Structure 1
Amino acid sequence: MENTIMLHNLSPIDLEQIITEAIKNQMEEFQRTLSIDTPDVLLTRSEACSFLKINMTTLWNWSKKGKIISYGIGNRVYYKKSELLESLVRIN
């Protein structure tokens, strides 16, 4: 009987609010742990181009000039998404 939940004098709207609040709390906790535990997201060259809305030539030129930092393993090139965001400069 200790694992039984009894719902007396609880309207469907109240039950919905209780469930909604519990799910909202769990999602917020999940997002906090996800942002702490997630390492930098690596993007390929094509993903970085799509993310920045530029072409491959521009990406190569920016890497060559040191505007953005690239990382490589073998013949593969990657970019850290967080560093791409940090490399953006405010215009005004």
Structure 2
Amino acid sequence: MGHLKFEDLPRATEIILKKLSALEEELKKIKEHFQPKEPVELLTREETAEFLKISLTTLWQWSKKGVLPSNGIGNRVFYKRSEILNSILELTHRQRK
């Protein structure tokens, strides 16, 4: 739409309104399906053991066996809360079978 004449304004306005309406619909769909990304929460060995109500020895054994995935940063070990919860759900699911 290069140069508009006065008589072109109603049609141009109609086109603009249709495009705005389509954009509103797309934004509505995006908002309905948008899931904000949860920040990764790292727990120390002590926090993880307390969270699971187990000893540090049991936590070490579970990590060594692969029951709980651990993440080493430098010479420290951390556990992601989301991975802990997923592991618990997986174990519970296995026990029900």
Find the counterpart in structure 2 of residue 42 from structure 1. 42
Find the counterpart in structure 2 of residue 15 from structure 1. none
Root-mean-square deviation (CA, aligned residues, Å) is 1.7
Query: Rg bigger for which structure?
Result: 2
TM-score for the superposition, normalised by structure 2:
0.55
SS of match in other structure, 2:68: coil
Once residues 70 and 40 of structure 1 are traced to their aligned partners in structure 2, the CA distance between those partners, rounded to angstroms, is 13
Please give the per-residue CA displacement for 1:31-51, whole angstroms capped at 9, x wherever unaligned: xxxx82432210000000011
Which runs of no fewer than 5 residues in structure 2 stay unpaired?
1-34
1:58 counterpart = 2:54:
no
Q: Once the two structures are aligned, what percentage of the paired residues are identical? A: 55
Please give the per-residue CA displacement for 1:54-81, whole angstroms capped at 9, x wherever unaligned: 0100000000000110001111100000
Which runs of no fewer than 5 residues in structure 1 stay unpaired?
1-34
Find the counterpart in structure 2 of residue 82 from structure 1. 82
TM-score for the superposition, normalised by structure 1:
0.58
